[in-house]
Amino acid sequence: MSRRKKSRKQVFEQLEVIDAAAKGKTVAKAPDGKVVFLQNAVPGDVVDVQTFKKRKAYYEGKATHFHKRSEKRVAPECDYFGTCGGCKWQNMGYEHQLYYKEKEVVNNLTRIGHIELPEVTPILGSEAQYFYRNKMEFSFSDSRWLTLEEIQSDEDLGDRNALGFHIPGMWDKILDIDKCHLQRDPSNAIRNAVKAFAVKNDLSFYNTRQQTGFLRTMMIRTSTTGDIMVLVQFFKEDKAKRELLLNFLAETFPEITALLYVINGKGNDTIYDQDVICYKGQDHIFETMEGLRFKINAKSFYQTNSEQAYELYKITRDFAGLKGDELVYDLYTGTGTIAQFVSKHAKKVIGVESVPDAITAAKENAQLNGITNVEFFVGDMKQVFNDAFITTHGHPDVVITDPPRDGMHKDVVGQLLNIAAEKIVYVSCNSATQARDLALLDGMYKVTKVQAVDMFPQTFHVENVVLLEKR
């Protein structure tokens, strides 16, 4: 049943939520046959829906009343579920999260890529379903996000400062966090201590709209080795106040091995064009994997789930099936972790990446690990990865590619077809763009193995590894 309004918003009553869709949304069917995308329901729920957007083929809406709650539901662990936006699937049992992640991968490969698939290896779940992230970034704000109840209340709202996460879709609103379930201790203790100390000592929190204040962001990185990095970003220099806070951190948390800071007065808070200064300890931490040591600085990219990254790399290496005499190309190599991980099973590995700092780190880590059969090159992939490059460095037997969410540029796909290596192992964090690229490779290559890997429990994100072999 539905009631039409002049605003074109509609109410649909007693719809059954039948599936999960991309980006954490779920799916119901309206009486007119159109799909309804929901953001606050779980497959199996029966709900009334208020729509807020209408398109030719679908609606977007919100469940306003629950007639039946799905058996797939679980109680969210986090008090901020539904407001923070960081763990959209926390209200769904983990086995069901895995089911829908694998289903999305298979659907994308078959519907977008029109790929003929082998028997798909079951998705690899994460042993740790909470406290698995090794990197978290928090923002300071002098005007924390208020709930509707707080806004309507006549009571004194007290401290308006926040140290937490951006409200989804609101660049200037920060949700104050007491306990986050994504990063292991002492992450929560450090964040809460910093906030309390800053409030007590009148260290001003940043105001995004006015671009005023002192404290801007804080990043915490942890590793399986026990190393801890804390980086505080200040909007302006105030030596006395800066040292007051940093000394407090160093004294209260002596386990911090890398205490860093940045003075950033520009409009955005990205640190990649800023000077990172080491205040105490070292300017890096270490991660380890099968005896390899990876040096990680404040600007380094490293998979944010260390334990599951190891599983992902093992699958990648297994799919490559190296015997020891192969020349391997590792495209989008980042800081060269995969290249080094597979190097002892290959004759030589060539890594290519567009970010100069990443290649510098890759070379440094290879030297640190005593690996001599890897070489790293920097440049835009679609320009560097050309015929002259292949002529200079050799024709690869195996190509490993791990591109960003946008997938591979069509020129890179074209070059892969020109090279015609015997095997391609395609690691992807976006199976939709992966499917698009696989369709372009399908004339020459057959997909022979597929395995999804869950790197981010409680979210809709999923990695996927595909082996392509020449037809």
- Residues with catalytic function: 429
* Residue 93 C-alpha from the chain's centroid: 21
Q: Which two tokens stand for residue 366?
A: 């290879």
CA distance 325 to 340: 16
Q: Are 364 and 374 a contacting pair, CB within 8 Å?
A: no
Element (H, E) at 318: helix 306-320
Asked if 335 and 294 touch (Cβ cutoff 8 Å), the reply is yes
- Quick count: other Cβ atoms within 10 Å of Cβ 275? 9
Quick one: which of 98, 158, 107 has its CA closest to 126?
98
Q: Copy the structure tokens of residue 158.
A: 């007290």
Q: What angle do CA 162, 275, 266 make, to 5 degrees?
A: 55
The HSE-up count of residue 142 (CA atoms within 13 Å, CB side) is 15
Q: Is 393 helix (H, G, I), strand (E, B) or coil?
A: helix
Q: Which three-class secondary structure string do you get for 342-378?
A: HHCCCCEEEEEECCHHHHHHHHHHHHHCCCCCEEEEE
Exposure string (b/e) for 70-97, b if CB count within 10 Å is 16 or more? bebbbebebebbeebbbbbbbbbebebb
Burial status of residue 13 (CB atoms within 10 A of its CB: 0-12, 13-18, 19 or more): middle
